[in-house]
Amino acid sequence: MTITEKLLARAAGRDEVKPGEFVNCALDLVLANDITAPIAIDEFRNMGATKVFDETKVALVCDHATPNRNIDSATQTKKVRDFAREMGVSNYWEADEGGIEHIILPDKGLVIPGDVVIGADSHTCTYGALGAFSTGVGSTDAAAGMALGECWFRVPESIEVIYSGELQPWVSGKDLILALIGEIGVAGARYRALEFKGEAIETLEMAGRFTICNMAIEAGAKNGVIAPDEITMQWFAGRSEREPILVAGDDDATYCRTVEIDCDMLEPQVAFPHLPENTKGISEVGDISIDQSVIGACTNGRLEDLREAARVLEGRHVADGVRCLIIPGSHAIHLEATREGLVELFLEAGCLVSTPTCGPCLGMHTGVLAEGERAIATTNRNFVGRMGHPKSEVYLASPAVAAASAIAGMIAGPEDV
């Protein structure tokens, strides 16, 4: 079996499963946020539920519009906060001690290798970087998960993605996943599992692995997953008292497709509007001016991402007329970035440093684009109107490229500045 098949078989109490089968799986964690949880709470009550299945296995994170941007977002957050208190859910966070859901849940040890997780947010697939099965669901399924502790799935076929060769300078996990999406398209893995492997993955740090699995959904995938290894376990050490289950695919596992990407030849990637599949190498971009650069989000808001941006920005300054937003992925990351001097470096470079939030990624607040404006961002989506006005544009790239572009005032690579 593949990794995904093994994980679902374990959670379903089965010895084996095959693609296309329907299985009912026990859940290790159910997630919802300030946008999706209020709907889930209503459905939870509508179905007659009076308590969650396990107070320690439900996580509620207010991150999309926090700190609250208006009365409506404050009302949404209060509804989630009150529900968490009523149900005794200890895993509730907003701006204080919290951060962006897909960064804080692994960091706080709530997701571990071998888990099966659903979240009422499409980027729940992030946790596959730990060797977990994690996928996004609708608010109704999240409500059922909170009440019952289980969810049904159709076992997906798996696509084997092999990243061969060595990463070139300034090429990161963001470039690896953009290159894949550029090759197979935004529907290329629809309802399939993406299993990432190869030499480049074996040497990639966890931050890059989280980025890759985070954007599996942008290829239409049900989930993305990487087999746990020594790098995984070193990162995981001390984060949870639960015993991890380490799952690897069998040598004779069946894949519906194999895609190989030669990292020896891969340069930093940029996804053009209005789809993540519209990728080009940095050398092919041409002269494209920008109004805003966003470095952060659940895709690239980790400390390693901020350090990468700082390497480019150190001793330099953001171009006139460009807004460069730095958004740490969590309160803890913000604090450590401050201790390391990164926040001071960013401010001296003319950047704006925000408290942790999803904010501009979905055009909600803290960096919304006006008509005709253009942004480069380390976020995960660049659909029409994603970051604001329908006639604005978003280009996706790594922290290094986003930082270099802020300095140049146009899309540029680190070697250009």
Q: What percent of the chain has pLDDT over 90?
A: 95
- Asked if 280 and 250 sit in the same domain, the reply is no
H/E element, 279: strand 279-281
**Are 24 and 12 a contacting pair, CB within 8 Å?**
yes
- Asked if 221 and 285 sit in the same domain, the reply is no
Confidence check: pLDDT of 417 > 80: yes
- Asked if 144 and 12 sit in the same domain, the reply is yes
The mean pLDDT value of the chain amounts to 96
- Asked if 40 and 183 sit in the same domain, the reply is yes
Look up the CATH number of the domain holding residue 102: 3.30.499.10
| Of 107, 78, 34, the residue nearest 301 (C-alpha) | 107
Q: Give me 214's structure tokens.
A: 């985070």
Confidence check: pLDDT of 199 > 90: yes
Boundary residue ending a domain (261, 291, 321)? 261
Please identify which residue in the block is written with the tokens 């001296």.
Answer: 348
- Asked if 296 and 206 sit in the same domain, the reply is no
- Asked if 14 and 135 sit in the same domain, the reply is yes
**Into how many domains does the chain fold?**
2
Q: What percent of the chain has pLDDT over 70?
A: 100
Residue 266 lies in a domain: no
Distance of alpha carbon 101 from alpha carbon 344, whole angstroms: 26
| Of 368, 378, 364, the residue nearest 67 (C-alpha) | 364
Distance of alpha carbon 395 from alpha carbon 279, whole angstroms: 9
- Asked if 314 and 370 sit in the same domain, the reply is yes
Distance of alpha carbon 181 from alpha carbon 278, whole angstroms: 8
Which domain covers residue 302, as residue numbers? 271-416
Which value, to the nearest 10 degrees, does the dihedral of the CA atoms of residues 200, 184, 284, 316 take?
Answer: -50
- Asked if 50 and 179 sit in the same domain, the reply is yes
Residue 31 lies in a domain: yes
Eight-state DSSP code of residue 103: H
Please identify which residue in the block is written with the tokens 């519209």.
Answer: 278
Residue 20 lies in a domain: yes
Confidence check: pLDDT of 67 > 80: yes
Residue 202 lies in a domain: yes
First-last CA distance in the chain: 47
pLDDT digits (tens, 9 = 90+) for 293-332: 999 999 999 999 999 999 999 999 999 999 999 999 999 9
**Helix (H/G/I), strand (E/B), else coil: 376:** strand
Confidence check: pLDDT of 48 > 90: yes
Q: What is the pLDDT of residue 323?
A: 97
Boundary residue ending a domain (261, 293, 321)? 261
pLDDT digits (tens, 9 = 90+) for 215-267: 999 999 999 999 999 999 999 999 999 999 999 999 999 999 999 999 999 99
Q: What is the pLDDT of residue 364?
A: 85
| Of 262, 268, 303, 310, the residue nearest 395 (C-alpha) | 268
Boundary residue ending a domain (243, 261, 279)? 261
- Asked if 241 and 344 sit in the same domain, the reply is no
Q: Band of the pLDDT at 66, cuts 50, 70, 90?
A: confident
- Asked if 117 and 194 sit in the same domain, the reply is yes
- Asked if 210 and 304 sit in the same domain, the reply is no
Q: How many CA atoms lie within 13 A of 291 on its CB side?
A: 12
Residue 129 lies in a domain: yes
- Asked if 239 and 116 sit in the same domain, the reply is yes
Q: What is the pLDDT of residue 235?
A: 96
